[in-house]
Structure 1
Amino acid sequence: MNIPIRRLTVFLMVLFAALLLQVNWLQAITAESLREADGNPRVNERKFDDQRGPIIVADEQIAYSEETGEDALYDYQRVYEDSEYFAHVTGFFSFYNETGIERAENSLLDGSDSRLAVRNFMDMISGEESQGASAHLTLHPDAQRAAVDGLRQFGDTGAAVALDPSTGEILTAASIPTFDANPISSLDTEVSGQAMEELDARLEEDNPLLNRAFNERYPPGSTFKIVTAAAALENGASPDSEMAAPDSMELGGTLRNAGGMSCNGGNPDTLANSIKISCNTSFANWAMELGAEQMYEQASAFGFNQGPLEVPLDVTESLAPNESDDEFVLARSGIGQGNLEATPLQMAMVASGIANNGDVMRPYLVDSVQAPDLSEITSTDPEVYMPGAVSSSTASDLTEMMKLVTEEGGTGTNAAISGIDVAGKTGTAQAGGDRANHSWYIGFAPADDPEVAVATVIEHGGGGGGASAAPVARDIMEAVLQE
């Protein structure tokens, strides 16, 4: 064999080896990523040709797959009932991506989870069509609707969260503005594309896709005075303990009471009365007396500064920094301003911890997941998330003080429910610049045997939390208690 032929033979062998390597690379290494790539048309074929399991609230399907008919390109279309009430929780399932529970429980809903492997194998043997599992949520449908309707009545943007204090079940997770998941999930790409374009165009304006209940942080305003009061009680104070409550304070900046009011005529005020009337200056003094470390530890005990949480939707971390270097910032943190940032879920957890005798339960949205034959694949057991956020005696004292808020002379009378004691706290949080304040309310009911804890916030609601956020919270609590 002459030299040119040998060279050609070696060259061909190298090419053949390279071809084998490429085939093995495609089949063994990158196959999964190529198979799941958005540009692969077979991905959409699989997504919409398989019957995805439903998302269920109180035995009603709020998301399910509906057959499209013989002449359709795909076999199933995702349908969302009352979508604007549940959209931020269910999310959507579309050509573009998945969000909400559709994403968090995707492998169970689409049937690809390994825990459904035996079921899928039996379906293949019997010729039955495979179907995904069903996700059963903890939401209370009437309370969820009351939350969305109430928020819309008082504002354009805001959120509400309600919890079962004894279990951590999320009964309400509402966010406005909301959206309709149906056009986004349409199999008509022109319809779904236009729907996404319209929502994307509003990202800077009001971002309807943002789940404000879990992923937006606000200064908590005077609702945080409950945390300050908890720190005071945990460190030896009582509801009758007094603190200086001047009409204003100069701490590198002027700190005044809401509306220029006087707390107890400018004289020292009790901790209980300061909660009832929401006195700023006394709580600023409480924060400075307690010190940055005590304030930081108490906030952290309720769940601040603990990192992101999954319910299973992702929840943004709430922040209460240690303000040891700045007395004015520390004073402002005592009234829920400064560098504090809290999600509505976090403030609902504060109320829930007090309602639950001092223990904060881990919040969760998915009660169980069931296979198509109704056998249970997963279930969520209640779990203590932050044990002993406060002692039982502190929780009892806080409850009694918070009951004063909804009684005559308190700031939260609009949250009162006839025949039921309600424990609460209003809040007004400065939003910065010329923008109107955020309006807050947190609370629970019945105060002596709590069944629901709630937090509501109206962005730029103005007028104080008692005027707008409190009645929304009342409607949510009533919806739960009327069951």
Structure 2
Amino acid sequence: MWPWDGRWRSTTRACRRRPSCPTSRKSGRSAYGPRSTTRCRPRRPGRWTACSGPPSWPYGRPRGDPRGRRPVGRPGGVRAQVPPGSTFKTVTAAALLNNGLSPDSTVDCAAVYQIPFNRPIHNYKDENHGTVTLRQAFALSCNTSFARLTIERLNGDTLVDQARAFGFGVPGESAGASTCGSMRRPENQDALAEDSFGQGTVEATPLCMALVAAAVESGEWRPARPLADEASQGELPQSVPLPSNVAEGLRSLMSAVTIDGTAAGSDLPQGVAGKTGTAEDGQGGQDHAWFIGYQGDLAFAVFVEHGGTGRGAAVPIAARFLNAL
């Protein structure tokens, strides 16, 4: 790590200087799959480090790629907005903790949840875990639990407000554009359920989700500045403290993911807490893989475009990165 002067360092240059980074600027390819990106942030003010995969192509993919071209902006690791999948359950869990639930609250993790008079919501591979605690539902990444709890206990405004507290839709310093992600108010219960587990209208950048993990660890969401070579366009948004019960509850939930949840039994070092995510691609391609978390005062996010599952593609990258620190 190096002293932070208030601006982002070049992430590709950071990878050249750090042999532990699982990508190579020379080859422009990830050692683990297409477009892997890692962001890391210590909680302490004034210190920052970052490591990413290769810079994005102007339209997300090279010319001639049979998968087509999709505008993602550049550099992709900072500004590419894609569905965050189940990593967004961290935000939804914060809203639920803010509205009377605790990590030990009993919830249902059925294989399928039928929204009254609307569509059914399925767990990954229709897994049925029965009655569990909220902590277990988070650790096992139960879509049905979070969809049902959101429908029964929250509403569109509540979820949007909670997302905004984590930086979604908050204007950044660069040209007034959000450096995080976006979420529109759900128009109906189907959309609300989809948003609750990071699909639907929700989009996020890897940087955004690293800041979510950092907020859980520190108890306060803090904004990020743009890349060092971008001119300042205005003031940074204000920091947002999390209620103590929410921060403590989220730490308990994220610890359970690596102890006996979807990231358990991996090569992650001790003391890591996190959340896996597998996000459907809106263009019909293979799923995107996510893993966000923190170890001590270091927060991170890993995103693998079309990488498959978070457990299968993103967690191994995080493990190698953290073990090499």
Which TM class, normalised by the smaller chain length? Answer: 0.7 to 0.9
Aligned partners of 1:209 and 1:296: how far apart in 2? 24
1:160 paired with 2:38, answer: yes
1:466 paired with 2:311, answer: yes
Residue type of the alignment partner of 1:402: M
1:477 paired with 2:315, answer: no
1:396 paired with 2:245, answer: no
**For residues 67-110 of structure 1, what are the alpha-carbon distances to aligned partners after superposition, in whole Å with 9 as ceiling and x for unaligned?**
xxxxxxxxxxxxxxxxxxx97666xxxxxxxxxxxxxxxxxxxx
What pairs up with 1:251-262 in 2 under 5 angstroms? 251=115, 252-262=118-128
- For the structure 1 residues 167 and 151, does the alpha-carbon distance in structure 2 shift closer, same or farther, using more than 3 Å as the test? farther
Q: Alpha-carbon deviation of 1:391?
A: 1.4
- SS, match of residue 394 in structure 1: helix
Aligned partners of 1:234 and 1:143: how far apart in 2? 40
1:361 paired with 2:258, answer: no
- SS, match of residue 160 in structure 1: strand
Q: Which has the higher contact order (CA 8 A, sep 6+)?
A: 2
Q: Alpha-carbon deviation of 1:147?
A: 4.4
User: Over aligned residue pairs, what C-alpha RMSD do you find?
Assistant: 3.4
1:221 paired with 2:88, answer: no
Aligned partners of 2:73 and 2:190: how far apart in 1? 36
Matched residue, 1:352:
214
Matched residue, 1:322:
185
Matched residue, 2:286:
436
Contact 2:22/2:32, CA 8 A, preserved across alignment: no
Matched residue, 2:149:
286
Q: Alpha-carbon deviation of 1:416?
A: 4.9
Residue type of the alignment partner of 2:74: L
Matched residue, 1:376:
none
- For the structure 1 residues 340 and 334, does the alpha-carbon distance in structure 2 shift closer, same or farther, using more than 3 Å as the test? same
Matched residue, 1:193:
none
Contact 1:440/1:456, CA 8 A, preserved across alignment: yes
Contact 1:157/1:206, CA 8 A, preserved across alignment: no
Aligned partners of 1:212 and 1:152: how far apart in 2? 14
- SS, match of residue 466 in structure 1: helix
Aligned partners of 1:291 and 1:148: how far apart in 2? 41
Q: Alpha-carbon deviation of 1:173?
A: 4.4
Matched residue, 2:102:
238
Q: Alpha-carbon deviation of 1:141?
A: 6.5
Residue type of the alignment partner of 2:163: A
Normalised to the residue count of structure 1, the TM-score between the two structures is 0.56
Contact 2:111/2:144, CA 8 A, preserved across alignment: yes
Aligned partners of 1:302 and 1:347: how far apart in 2? 9
Q: Alpha-carbon deviation of 1:156?
A: 1.6
**For residues 142-197 of structure 1, what are the alpha-carbon distances to aligned partners after superposition, in whole Å with 9 as ceiling and x for unaligned?**
66851425971222224221111232744114133668xxxxxxxxxxxxxxxx9x
Please tell me whether Structure 1 or Structure 2 has the larger radius of gyration of its CA atoms.
1
Aligned partners of 1:366 and 1:433: how far apart in 2? 29
- For the structure 1 residues 243 and 444, does the alpha-carbon distance in structure 2 shift closer, same or farther, using more than 3 Å as the test? same
What pairs up with 1:191-230 in 2 under 5 angstroms? 201=63, 205=69, 210-230=74-94
Q: Alpha-carbon deviation of 1:327?
A: 0.1
Q: Alpha-carbon deviation of 1:287?
A: 1.5
- For the structure 1 residues 385 and 432, does the alpha-carbon distance in structure 2 shift closer, same or farther, using more than 3 Å as the test? same
Residue type of the alignment partner of 2:183: A
Contact 2:92/2:146, CA 8 A, preserved across alignment: yes
- For the structure 1 residues 328 and 401, does the alpha-carbon distance in structure 2 shift closer, same or farther, using more than 3 Å as the test? same
Q: Alpha-carbon deviation of 1:284?
A: 0.5
Matched residue, 1:340:
202
Aligned partners of 2:46 and 2:184: how far apart in 1? 25
Contact 1:162/1:476, CA 8 A, preserved across alignment: no
Aligned partners of 1:219 and 1:208: how far apart in 2? 12
Structure 2 spans left out of the alignment, 5+ residues: 4-8, 229-235
Contact 1:242/1:271, CA 8 A, preserved across alignment: yes
Identity of aligned residues (%): 29
**For residues 290-339 of structure 1, what are the alpha-carbon distances to aligned partners after superposition, in whole Å with 9 as ceiling and x for unaligned?**
111211111100100112444x997645112221x310110111111111
Aligned partners of 2:320 and 2:29: how far apart in 1? 10
Residue type of the alignment partner of 1:300: R
Return the structure number with greater helix share. Answer: 1
Residue type of the alignment partner of 1:280: N
Q: Alpha-carbon deviation of 1:250?
A: 3.0
Tell me how many residue pairs correspond in the alignment.
304
Residue type of the alignment partner of 1:410: G
- SS, match of residue 182 in structure 2: coil
Aligned partners of 1:315 and 1:155: how far apart in 2? 27
Contact 1:216/1:316, CA 8 A, preserved across alignment: no
Aligned partners of 2:256 and 2:273: how far apart in 1? 7
Contact 1:151/1:159, CA 8 A, preserved across alignment: no
Structure 1 spans left out of the alignment, 5+ residues: 1-56, 60-85, 91-138, 180-195, 368-382
Aligned partners of 2:46 and 2:145: how far apart in 1? 33
Normalised to the residue count of structure 2, the TM-score between the two structures is 0.81
What pairs up with 1:177-196 in 2 under 5 angstroms? none
Contact 2:279/2:287, CA 8 A, preserved across alignment: yes
- Alignment equivalent of 2:129, drawn from 263, 273, 277: 263
- Alignment equivalent of 1:273, drawn from 136, 150, 154: 136
Greater mean alpha carbon deviation, residues 169-178 or residues 275-284: 169-178
Contact 1:284/1:331, CA 8 A, preserved across alignment: yes
Residue type of the alignment partner of 1:167: P
Matched residue, 1:250:
114
